Chain A
């Protein structure tokens, strides 16, 4: 059945240029009125007065243990809302990450006659004024990347999109295209919930490219009775490189939950891979099994994507991990020269397979490296203690529902991840948008360690670099902070830093530091012999706000060293109605390696990649002071017994990659 895309905003003739200018200046004047009146009226209707935050912040590196050590407890009781200003909220929007369209502060004045009522009605909302001449664009949020694929010269990204609200709901497939994974154009919605089998949501799915170059999409639909089923969709015009329109198969749903699987536990089909022996395609779907509270993966086999055979047993299972969402399964080469591999590469000793799942219970993405056996359709982890759900995560911060695809243009595997907000629901409604995608990353097996992946921002990110500064051989003595003279605003940066800790310090330190853990060991202010040290980004000149990206070297009882890599968000903002944590993990450092980190700073998101991408962390931060021209970068060394040298710190300013809203892309 043919399917027409729904227009993304009410259409109107674009106004004359001079009228546009007039209306924008009028809107600007009204916005000022808005800002003044907003505070007065809003506190009048809420049962609680707005209080300004008064909690003290630790200052500088010489303080003792920071005020909150638990990674969890701090989230529990923001006393009330921070008085966010529009200036602060608008700054949060990222410049070069994929994020949804936003609107003008959640309001729309439908007709001029209402003006009278706005003045006289005590429920007047000042926001109404600001939108007099601005058309309603929807507020929105966009979790879960869907069906990423490279097709006929374009990178496509679909995503779970609520066109109407900054909270989850009305889920459709948003759609955007790019030539380079960095510069995007929004296209009309690809799919909406318009059949019984996806009436309660067009949920996550994956694309498979067939040998003849054609493309199929399998996605989860939540039916009119909220049963999770799998549906098939294909481009209505395969010759259209922009894949604007999609046809849902008459055979839908093509997969129903099998016996023993709950109707709410059957979602997110993977990209299919081709099995030569069976002369058929296979794909995986995560679910759970209640007895052991195990996350499990089922494998289906098909020749035509219309009828399927459930293979006996499971690809894999891990007890105690709960429901596995957004399962991903793909090969990685074991030689340095391999590069990325097509999903259908299955055989050979030179190939390992990565199994990944999003843990519904703890909202983190885990992966493990192992071996896949085509004959039995089983996968076994190399190290059962680092199995899926209990071992490594793609990212130790805010990162979920991720999915890879094989980029045929550049022969690499690329990873997308959903980065949610860690601020209040109130702020999300206020600013009119929520969530974004992490910077796309290439994924490779780390052939040096063999036991983890390497993730790195795609090369195209470098095209945004504009103007660089390099600082070399800066000695940072114990307990000190060194400001870096970064020209212009430090809200959009690409940083590559290399650190060295002097050998004497490493040898002299006697005390073992066995229990160190980023989340529970006190953050950047808790001083150890050999750490923490690193960089402070989105820091204001007085250091009343700072986001710390750092290493901590712990000495083990056997005399060896264990390096940890962490983000400390606790002082990232004076506001207390947001989530602030210390997060991170161990990072393997091999003999002879210096400590390296790459950091992408883009307003309210900070992404770091340590040791070439062995350990990655994403943080969402919402500073109130360290914004616009007040953001700075510092080096710090909180170690008590070590001198640290920043051998090289390169800092590039990043241009913005504005997303084009395009309904007529030609």
Chain B
């Protein structure tokens, strides 16, 4: 009896695996939904972000939320390098100070967003959203550092992209909350991305 139910379970699992194409989320639809949910999200930016990652093609909605978070981590690493270069060039101590604050913020953001990615994997969406919001705050604090110093920020676009990526992840998680049918796919997918 036990072996029959195990066999049935295996068959069920393998049939779910084969139907994974039905589980792959449409990048266009997901980005449409995300862009509609937040003015911060630009449809074209969203689509090109996902197209830039080969795993997007077979990812379900949860997978896309995770990819957005991971892309934001990679972006944070790029910003840190950009800050390092800017620090070498800039003689102004106030700008240097703001840049250093931003460096620390983006460093912290890497961990914040890594926490978000892990929470998305574990289907702890409320926790994930909390981490993503913290990540957004960290980018905004970087912008504020320059405002406080009364200096033009060289990181405006970087901050904006960072906020956009984290917001994409947030918005996509909200989309999942509205789509219960993704649940079965999530069980399989959480492993694979």
Residue positions of A touching B, CB distance < 8 A? 10, 42, 45-48, 72-73, 75-78, 81, 106-108, 110-111, 113-114, 117-118, 121, 123-125, 127-128, 136, 139, 162, 164-165, 167-170, 200-201, 203, 222, 225-226, 264-265, 267, 290, 293, 320, 322-323, 325, 360-363, 424-426, 428-430, 513-515, 517, 520-521, 577, 579
Pick the contact of A113: B3, B93, B101, B110 (CB < 8 A): B93
Q: Does B74 contact A (CB under 8 A)?
A: yes
29 contacts between A and B (CB under 8 A): A10-B84, A47-B130, A72-B188, A75-B190, A76-B122, A77-B124, A106-B110, A110-B100, A114-B100, A118-B104, A123-B104, A123-B105, A123-B108, A128-B107, A164-B78, A165-B77, A169-B53, A200-B52, A323-B57, A360-B57, A360-B58, A362-B17, A363-B192, A425-B70, A429-B111, A429-B114, A430-B111, A515-B6, A520-B9
Contact in complex: A77, B84 (CB < 8 Å): no
| A123-B104, A127-B107 as given contacts; A520 in contact with B10, CB under 8 Å | yes
Give the complex CA separation of A515 and B7 in angstroms.
6
A204 to B156, alpha carbons, bound, how many Å?
34
Nearest CB of chain A from residue B145's CB, rounded to whole Å:
10
- Interface residue ranges, B against A (CB under 8 Å): 2-4, 6-7, 9-10, 13, 17-18, 20-21, 48, 51-55, 57-58, 70-71, 73-78, 80-81, 83-84, 87-88, 93, 96-97, 99-101, 103-105, 107-108, 110-112, 114-115, 117-118, 121-124, 127, 130-131, 134, 141, 187-188, 190-192
In the complex, how many angstroms separate the beta carbon of A172 from the nearest chain B beta carbon? 13
A167 x B74 contact (CB < 8 A): yes
A110 touches B84 (CB 8 A): yes
A264–B55 Cα gap in the complex (Å)? 10
Partner of A106, one of B55, B107, B131: B107
Q: Is the CB of A426 within 8 A of B118?
A: yes
A363 to B123, CA, bound (A): 20
Q: List 17 extra interface pairs beyond A425-B115, A514-B3, CB under 8 A.
A: A42-B111, A46-B115, A110-B83, A111-B100, A113-B97, A117-B101, A123-B105, A164-B78, A165-B110, A226-B52, A264-B57, A322-B58, A361-B20, A361-B192, A428-B114, A517-B10, A520-B10
Residues of chain A lying within 8 A (CB to CB) of residue B127:
47-48
Cβ–Cβ contact B112 & A46, under 8 A:
yes
Main secondary structure, interface of A, reads loop
List residues of chain A with CB within 8 A of the CB of B134. 45-47
Q: Give the Cβ gap from A579 to chain B, nearest Cβ, in Å.
A: 7
- Candidate in B88, B99, B115, B124 with the most chain A CB atoms within 10 angstroms: B115
- A42 CA to B114 CA in the complex, in Å? 13
B130 to chain A: closest residue by CB: A47
Q: How far is the CA of A263 from the CA of B84 in the complex (A)?
A: 36
Given A72-B191, A111-B87, A164-B78, is A78 in contact with B100 using a C-beta cutoff of 8 Å? no
Q: Name A203's contact: one of B54, B100, B192 (CB within 8 Å).
A: B54
Give min CB distance, A70 to chain B, whole Å.
Answer: 8
Counting residue pairs across A and B whose Cβ atoms lie within 8 Å, the total is 174
A325 to B55, CA, bound (A): 11
Contact between A362 and B192, CB atoms less than 8 A apart:
yes
A183 to B93, CA, bound (A): 46
Residue contact B117 to A425, C-beta cutoff 8 Å: yes
A424 to B108, CA, bound (A): 16
Least distance between A122 CB and chain B CB atoms (Å): 10
Q: How far is the CB of A457 from chain B (nearest CB, A)?
A: 27
Contacts of B20 in A (CB 8 A): 322, 361-362
Is the pair A81, B78 in contact by a Cβ cutoff of 8 Å? no
- CB nearest neighbor in A for B16: A72
Closest to A77 in B: B122
Q: Which residues does chain B contribute within 8 Å of A430, judged by CB atoms?
A: 111
Are B104 and A222 in touch, CB under 8 angstroms?
A: no
A-B pairs, top 4 by smallest CB distance, nearest first, are A169-B74, A515-B3, A226-B51, A165-B77
Q: Which residue of B lies closest to A110 (CB)?
A: B87
Between B48, B70, B104, the greatest number of chain A beta carbons within 10 A of the residue's beta carbon is seen for B104
For A226, list chain B residues within 8 Å (CB).
48, 51-52
Given contacts A75-B191, A76-B187, contact A168 B104 (CB under 8 A): no
Q: Complex formed: what's the CA distance from A166 to B115 in Å? A: 14
A124 touches B104 (CB 8 A): yes
Inter-chain contact B52/A167, CB cutoff 8 Å: no
